[in-house]
Amino acid sequence: MSNTPNIRFKGFSDAWEQRKFANVFDGLQNNTLSRAELNYESGDVKNVHYGDVLIKFGDYIDASETELPYISDSSKVEKFRNSFLQDGDIVIADTAEDDTVGKCTEIQCSEGMQLLSGLHTIACRPKEKYGPKFLGYYINSPAYHNQLKPLMQGIKVTSISKSALQDTDLIVPKSIEEQTKIGEYFSNLDNLITLHQHKYNEMLILKRYLLQKMFPKRGRKVPEIRFDGFKEEWKQYKCKDIFDKVGVPVKLKKDGLYREIGIRSHGKGIFHKDEVTGAEIGNKRVFWIEQNCFILNIVFAWERAVAKTTKNEIGMIASHRFPMYKPKTGIVDLDYITKFFITDQGKDILEMASPGGAGRNKTLGQKEFAESNILIPSYEEQIKIGETIKALDELINLNLFKYEKLKEIKKYMLKNMFV
């Protein structure tokens, strides 16, 4: 096996060194204090809990900025004073409910703090200096973590022992400069991932806010937020007067290929498409998808499951359990109405049109839906609202795409920048 990674920074060509875990780290003492013995209000010594290592913390933590609990009883600290954590130490979670056992976090920015490694952790201090954050990313990389899987014990709860770690191998660069560059690279990548995650979450909050404010609250006929130039009250219609139920039945045959369309991820209006043949359809009632309609999932319509059709759906089919409606031209805007049905007011209409049953057993009644009353603004105001939410959706999807793509890049680089 080559002791050089597939991807590395320019200027570095030396083979990496293989070392035993026992020769790289000295062990530190950890405490066994439970969550009940910790608090977030006050204390002299802070504590790193294994649950936070597994779920909350990344490959390293800035101890000065990270929310860490205090040890409530200071008298329980005295025997651990020789094991206060410092920059470069790593804390490994030795227990988990899956193969994430062995995940670690590296301590950074701990100067002036008193910090201990807590319950179900293995605290280690490098015998020599390493580049900041390098060990945190390396220990969590597949290159090292895959060694731990055969050493894990347990079924429902998995664990790994200190002694089992001692004989594992670390393959690391000799150059602290190369270690530092690797740590900085992954740290910058994590910052970008966090940035797009925050943008995504903030835009979701903004969308929820606008959906609450740009549609009238129950019992009112005007919303709290409106575009300039619109002052008149919204008008009430019956759904049957502004939507036409559509769908041409598919003539079933024994051969030929169709694509089936449905709605999944209740409330998100996401399509799934699966290839089916006429024979597989059997005697089900299916209909050709039409353009510029909205589809409701009758089983989960009251949970806001709605999606719109576009030209991309031509040549596809939908079950009768996904009824299609076409808004009447000049009265209802398609983008607007698909956004309306994910508001509280839209949910009310769908739920009231879902007779019988309880909870997830409710089913949308299409006759009841046709007779339902719906409040809508002028066509021009609908377009403004629909365009606004649509543009926001595009920004949300863009940041989600960037976030997921950056996570893929990190995963790929972790496989290729370590040995």
% of the chain residues with pLDDT over 70:
93
Looking at 176-180, 181-185, 336-340, which range is the least confident one? Answer: 336-340
First-to-last C-alpha distance (Å) of the chain:
9
Whether the CB-CB separation of 405 and 184 falls below 8 Å is answered with no
- pLDDT tens for each residue of 120-137: 999 999 999 999 999 999
Tokens 């973590």 correspond to what residue?
A: 145
Nearest alpha carbon to residue 194 among 410, 413, 25: 410
- Cα separation, 202 vs 214, in Å, equals 18
Instruction: Report the half-sphere exposure of 105 (CA within 13 A, side-chain side).
Output: 25
* Residue 204 pLDDT exceeds 80: yes
* pLDDT tier, 11 (very low <50, low <70, confident <90, very high otherwise): very high
Residues in the chain: 419
pLDDT of residue 185: 98
Give the CATH fold of the 235-376 domain: Adenine-n6-DNA-methyltransferase TaqI; Chain A, domain 2 (3.90.220)
Q: Of the segments 267-271, 280-284, 372-376, which one has the largest average pLDDT value? A: 372-376
Structural domain spans, the chain: 17-172, 235-376
Whether the CB-CB separation of 294 and 309 falls below 8 Å is answered with yes
**Residue-wise burial string across 22-37, b where 16 or more C-beta atoms lie within 10 A, e elsewhere:** eebbeebebbebeeeb
Average pLDDT over residues 248-263: 74
- pLDDT tens for each residue of 219-249: 899 999 999 999 999 999 999 999 999 988 8
Nearest alpha carbon to residue 115 among 180, 215, 38, 4: 38
Nearest alpha carbon to residue 297 among 265, 335, 333: 265
pLDDT of residue 342: 86
- Cα separation, 135 vs 120, in Å, equals 20
CA dist list (Å): 295 to 235, 237, 326, 365, 417: 23, 19, 9, 14, 47
* Residue 269 pLDDT exceeds 70: no
CA dist list (Å): 87 to 12, 60, 136, 180, 378: 26, 10, 11, 14, 62
pLDDT of residue 254: 62
Average pLDDT over residues 314-333: 88
- pLDDT tens for each residue of 130-157: 999 999 999 999 999 999 999 999 989 9
pLDDT of residue 355: 81
Looking at 28-37, 135-144, 268-277, 410-419, which range is the least confident one? Answer: 268-277
Instruction: Report the half-sphere exposure of 377 (CA within 13 A, side-chain side).
Output: 22
Average pLDDT over residues 276-296: 80
* pLDDT tier, 92 (very low <50, low <70, confident <90, very high otherwise): very high
Average pLDDT over residues 84-92: 98
Handedness of CA 376, 381, 385, 390 (dihedral sign): positive
pLDDT of residue 347: 87
- 277 φ, ψ (degrees, to nearest 5): -105, 165
- The yes-or-no answer to whether 17-172 and 235-376 have a common fold is yes
237 CB burial (10 A radius; 0-12, 13-18, 19+): middle
Using DSSP's 3-state secondary structure scheme, residue 43 falls into coil
* Residue 362 pLDDT exceeds 80: no
Higher pLDDT, 96 or 262: 96
- 189 φ, ψ (degrees, to nearest 5): -65, -40
pLDDT of residue 255: 65
Helix, strand, coil % (nearest 5) of the chain?
A: 35, 20, 40
pLDDT of residue 263: 67
In eight-state DSSP terms, residue 153 is B
pLDDT of residue 89: 98
* Residue 349 pLDDT exceeds 80: yes
Whether the CB-CB separation of 281 and 255 falls below 8 Å is answered with no
- Cα separation, 289 vs 311, in Å, equals 9
Average pLDDT over residues 389-394: 93
DSSP 157-181: SEE--HHHHHT-EEEE-S-HHHHHH
Nearest alpha carbon to residue 95 among 13, 152, 25: 152
Task: Please give the mean pLDDT across all residues of the chain.
Answer: 91
Q: Which residues contact 157 (CB under 8 A, 6 or more apart)?
A: 95, 96, 97
Instruction: Report the half-sphere exposure of 125 (CA within 13 A, side-chain side).
Output: 14
* pLDDT tier, 282 (very low <50, low <70, confident <90, very high otherwise): low
Residue 345: Cβ within 10 Å count: 17
- Cα separation, 52 vs 38, in Å, equals 13
* pLDDT tier, 360 (very low <50, low <70, confident <90, very high otherwise): low
Using DSSP's 3-state secondary structure scheme, residue 137 falls into helix
pLDDT of residue 83: 97
Using DSSP's 3-state secondary structure scheme, residue 270 falls into strand
pLDDT of residue 359: 60
* Residue 354 pLDDT exceeds 70: yes
> How is domain 17-172 classified at the architecture level of CATH?
Alpha-Beta Complex (3.90)
